A and B are shown apart, each in its own frame.
Chain A
Amino acid sequence: NAGVTQTPKFQVLKTGQSMTLQCAQDMNHNSMYWYRQDPGMGLRLIYYSASEGTTDKGEVPNGYNVSRLNKREFSLRLESAAPSQTSVYFCASSDGFSGNTIYFGEGSWLTVV
């Protein structure tokens, strides 16, 4: 039972570099999410996709882009990484119906130097 799988688990970037975080879920969920977690700030929603073909901004979208490639996959792209984007990134998914329970991946630790 894979659930939500995200890659890479760890990444170090130089300021200005670009990279894409990949996420896939095998639960046939309609909705997918990207959160970032910073010390003392809990989880903040970056972008979400309510269904295949749609994406919407969350609380902290600046500096990020997303693509809902198909129902399974939702990627997060940093076009020009900044030190302020050093964080732990979590992908999540939900079916949007069963109590709105959200299932999380194990996280991607990103450091921008």
Chain B
Amino acid sequence: DIQMTQSPSTLSASVGDRVTITCRASQSISSWLAWYQQKPGKAPNLLIYKASFLESGVPSRFSGSGSGTEFTLTISSLQPDDFATYYCQQYKSYSVTFGQGTKLEVK
């Protein structure tokens, strides 16, 4: 299986900050990467697919980049609603795998 590693595991930030979360794959996955946001007690929500394509309805302050083995999710100006846990997911292989998650918390 392709292993996905996110960093950091926890990120403390303030409203208005620009934040970046990194996801690394154990082998090249081209651009077959998605990002999800999950709030406590809720199902995850798709933010970005194919590394950089914004899902419909997702605010433009979210962006994704990268290819191969290294990817980033950037929130340009953090809003109160953005404090949550974020997961990356590779889908190069049919058995998709997720990163362990990055919890974005209030500083």
Q: Do A and B come from one complex?
A: no
